[in-house]
Structure 1
Amino acid sequence: MSTPSLGRERHPDLGSSGPSAPLAPRRYAWGVFALAFALALTDFIDRQIIVSTFPFLKDEWGLSDTQLGALVSVVSVTVGLGALPLARLADRWSRTKSIALMGAVWSLAAFGCAISGNYAQMVAARAAVGAGEAGYGPAGGALLAGLFPQRLRSTVAGAFLSAGPIGAVFGVFLGGLMVGQLGWRVTLGVFAVPGLLFALLFLKVREHHAAVTGPATATATRHVPVPPASLRAILAELFRARTAVPAYLAGALQLVVLSTLFAWLPSYLTRAYGYTDTRAGAVSAVAILASAVGTVALGNLADRAGAVRARNKLVLPAALALVALALLTTAFGSVPPGPLQLCLIVAGTFAVASAVGPVPAVVMDVVRPSVRATALGMMVLVQNLFGLAVGPLLTGWLSDAYGLPAALTVMPLFCVGAAAALWRASRTYEQDLRVQARRDTPPSDAL
């Protein structure tokens, strides 16, 4: 009998007898996905809608571009600092209850943004938004990973994480429509209401678990807490796989560029094209929507490439990172404002999202199921502190010093580092998959 390629090997998982085995009834799994996606959507609307208020805050409070960028970056800082402890809480307590709690916290913090009386209060409220968001991605990603088979993880992770750019689309577009009519305060607070409702609905979600040796389709049970472990043991598990560190780094460097575009494209269009806030929001929404499509489509393409050979799941986004570099530096550095520049920006934003789905999927592939939320928490920590927090703030600083067009020309150079890190991770991914498969295979399965 011939040996199948690594991309098609059996990778045992919690409650699964193979990569195609469902871990929960399909309809239930997709229902939970829909609720998780909807809550994430309100998260990123609350997180991103502030960029449409930049011109109003700049005029009312006399803020610099650096200060405006900090209102975006402070959320990423608190998300990064809180991600790991809150993800560990989700692993040990309850992922669904953690999700409900965090959704309520960031929604209430969005109200705080709306009633801020000065810049310091706004910074504090935005930090609270990040504190609420900190553990949601890891807990949600780990919950979904337990509901879907390994062969779909990049696709599901990419679709779940596409709530980020899609939420940013709604935030920028609807913010641009509302801010001129309703004012910046109502604009910042209105989406807190659906966030609270979705958070409360998560209290009705049941977590699905099964023993490793159990049937392919799990039954609903209570969350099984992870036994206490030392910090040293947890870190050893998170960094045991050689693929993990370059994967964490690659995701962060790619997000430097993506967060820059999300935060500053509306302001660039207002300044360079003379667009109204509404039109700048609409055009920015098209570019951000392209990144959402790229997150899902390129995540699925990475899954398909990985089915041929596992390392291709990382090689493909490495190549696309260089494509994004060429498109974006050309757009902002060589092409004058006009239709061609807008097309290049949209195409570059599509390509730069190529690593959003594969990176968390790869991280979950190479750690034990019991620490998936913690592993994603580590990923969120690195990506927020060294990715999402860097892009808007550094771009604002460069804009104050050299102008916004120059800043947007320089920032895509981070794609070079992302491509190098993805390539490095691809060289060890297949071996780490084999090691993890052996660790998760019950002794009774041995031939």
Structure 2
Amino acid sequence: MGLPTTTTAEPTGAPDPAGAATTPGLAPAGRRRSLYPWLVFALTFALLLSDYMSRQVLSAVFPFLKADWALTDSQLASLTSIVALMVGLLTFPLSLLADRWGRVRSLVLMAVIWSLATLACAVAANYEQMLAARFLVGVGEAAYGSVGIALVLSVFAPRVHSTLSGAFMAGGSFGSVIGVSLGGVIAVHLSWRWSFAAMAVLGLLLVAVFRAVVTERRLAEHNAEADSHTDLPTATRIRVPVSTLFTNPAIWCAYLGGGLQMFTAAVLLAWTPSFFNRYYGLAPDKAGVIASVFVLLIGTGMVVCGMITDRVSRNDPSRKWASAVAYCTISLAALGTAFTLETGALQLILLGVGAFFSAGSSGPTAAMVAGLTHPSVRASALGTLTVANNILGLATGPFVVGILADRLGLVGALQITPLVYLLAIAALLVGRRVYPAGLRKLTEQSAAASARA
């Protein structure tokens, strides 16, 4: 993966326990080299793909549902919106519960719920039953992203957290593409019910493997956090109050910067098919194929930008903030120019560059949130970041562009969209300035928790 092999402790108030280890995924010094952390990542990432495949397969079967049940467009939209609504409402409380109840058990339960709910979609007899099943899909998926990445980061040294966070969050883009494309093929050759059934069976198989391989005990053995308490028995854990998630100004800047930088990426995910249909004259199916290329660019950019960030911040963790600012600036310049040009090759190139960097700050911001919070509440912190991503970006971006497009036309709305990066850049610059104080705050919180214990 091209990850760095030189160990450098990050000044997070808790030194990097990897010590003399020479591989990013290694457990603390003194433990033998192991591939187990990478196996944890692979299985957790596979379940994330299943998460988004189960969520987005619905888009592939819209025409079939509309024809079979005579549904209106608003009813079809509600089947999608109910999942996003549940994610927005339940991510934080369920992440908090997972920090207390156990991350492995929580992830297993989540995956079982969304897989069985997806299976219920396959046997739904009408709109009302489908809506109820999609409600449960949203309940199951609500906190998987935040709890899953918290579990993964617990077995890796901080110096690769941006890479892993970016790769993990990019799984949403990859899973969406797979779910829509595979679901469409299955629906055409078998039926739309088999599209849901296939996603459900895949999810149940993956969760069975995950449960057999990933255990609390083995995670504790490979724990790479400063104080290996996250997955130890409750009596031995050191905990900080949940209020610490909101009393550190640097974390607030990461929340705001992370959420705002997702605004434009969400717009690209939602509106590029319509853009290519209206302005390049492509049929809806061809426009969707071209748009999927840009979706893949967004996901690939999240991974690559995370790797770059880990490389440049190896000796100075504060460079994560500068990297996030750079990615926002590049996307602002590329997309801001692209949407003012006539259709053609140059516009497509700039759109590709802008898409690649549009969500590049996701990995760095997640790594900053993880580095500024105590491990006992890390899933809750990443859950808060997920809420910010949804409220400020994923939910708001497409909706705002839809309103603006009614008044200015789609291109006019898309020309304004990149300006939101200015707000993200401002939040990230402030975060970089208060970062040292944020680290001191974390140290004080950890010391107070240890004293209470």
CA displacement, residues 246-278 of structure 1 (integer Å, 9 cap, x when unaligned): 111111112222222222323333343343454
2:388 equivalent to 1:382:
yes
Distance 1:45 1:400, change over 3 A: farther
Deviation of 1:158 (Å): 1.6
Distance 1:124 1:443, change over 3 A: closer
Distance 1:111 1:301 in 2: 40
Distance 2:410 2:63 in 1: 14
2:368 equivalent to 1:359:
no
| Residue of structure 1 equivalent to 2:71 | 61
Distance 2:280 2:65 in 1: 20
- SS of 2:246 mapped into structure 1: helix
- The 8 Å contact of residues 73 and 390 in structure 1, kept in 2 or not, is answered as no
| Residue of structure 1 equivalent to 2:164 | 156
Which AA in structure 2 matches 1:23? A
- The 8 Å contact of residues 251 and 438 in structure 2, kept in 1 or not, is answered as no
Deviation of 1:147 (Å): 0.5
| Residue of structure 2 equivalent to 1:436 | 442
Distance 1:291 1:19 in 2: 35
Distance 1:176 1:283, change over 3 A: farther
| Residue of structure 1 equivalent to 2:354 | 348
- The 8 Å contact of residues 115 and 137 in structure 2, kept in 1 or not, is answered as yes
Distance 1:182 1:342 in 2: 36
Deviation of 1:363 (Å): 0.7
Deviation of 1:124 (Å): 4.5
| Residue of structure 2 equivalent to 1:370 | 376
- The 8 Å contact of residues 107 and 129 in structure 1, kept in 2 or not, is answered as yes
Cα RMSD for the two superposed structures: 3.7
Distance 1:265 1:215, change over 3 A: closer
Deviation of 1:151 (Å): 1.1
The correspondence of residues 12-411 of structure 1 with structure 2, limited to 5 A, is: 13=14, 16=17, 18=19, 22-23=26-27, 26-53=34-61, 61-63=71-73, 71-114=79-122, 122-175=130-183, 177-178=185-186, 181=189, 184-204=192-212, 205-207=214-216, 208-209=219-220, 223-225=232-234, 234-331=241-338, 333-400=339-406, 402-411=408-417
Distance 2:132 2:20 in 1: 45
- SS of 1:191 mapped into structure 2: helix
Which AA in structure 1 matches 2:88? G
Which AA in structure 2 matches 1:268? F
- The 8 Å contact of residues 73 and 389 in structure 1, kept in 2 or not, is answered as no
Distance 1:338 1:361 in 2: 37
The correspondence of residues 420-435 of structure 1 with structure 2, limited to 5 A, is: 420-435=426-441
Question: What's the TM-score once normalised by structure 1's chain length?
Answer: 0.83
Distance 2:161 2:409 in 1: 41
Distance 1:97 1:222 in 2: 11
- The 8 Å contact of residues 10 and 316 in structure 2, kept in 1 or not, is answered as no
Choose 141-150 or 280-289, whichever is displaced more: 280-289
Which AA in structure 2 matches 1:387? G
- SS of 1:190 mapped into structure 2: helix
Which AA in structure 1 matches 2:17? S
Question: What's the TM-score once normalised by structure 2's chain length?
Answer: 0.82
Deviation of 1:372 (Å): 0.8
CA displacement, residues 83-136 of structure 1 (integer Å, 9 cap, x when unaligned): 112112211112111111111212233334455566665554443322111121
Distance 1:221 1:186 in 2: 40
Aligned length: 431
Q: 1:413 aligns with which of 414, 419, 422?
A: 419
- The 8 Å contact of residues 23 and 217 in structure 1, kept in 2 or not, is answered as no
- SS of 1:260 mapped into structure 2: helix
Choose 233-242 or 54-63, whichever is displaced more: 54-63
Distance 1:289 1:125, change over 3 A: same
Choose 48-57 or 133-142, whichever is displaced more: 48-57
Distance 1:414 1:221 in 2: 36
- Of structures 1 and 2, the one with the larger relative CO (CA 8 A, separation 6+) is 1
- SS of 1:161 mapped into structure 2: helix
- SS of 1:314 mapped into structure 2: helix
- The 8 Å contact of residues 95 and 146 in structure 2, kept in 1 or not, is answered as yes
Deviation of 1:295 (Å): 0.8
Deviation of 1:12 (Å): 6.1
Which AA in structure 2 matches 1:263? A
Alignment gaps of 5+ in structure 2: 1-7
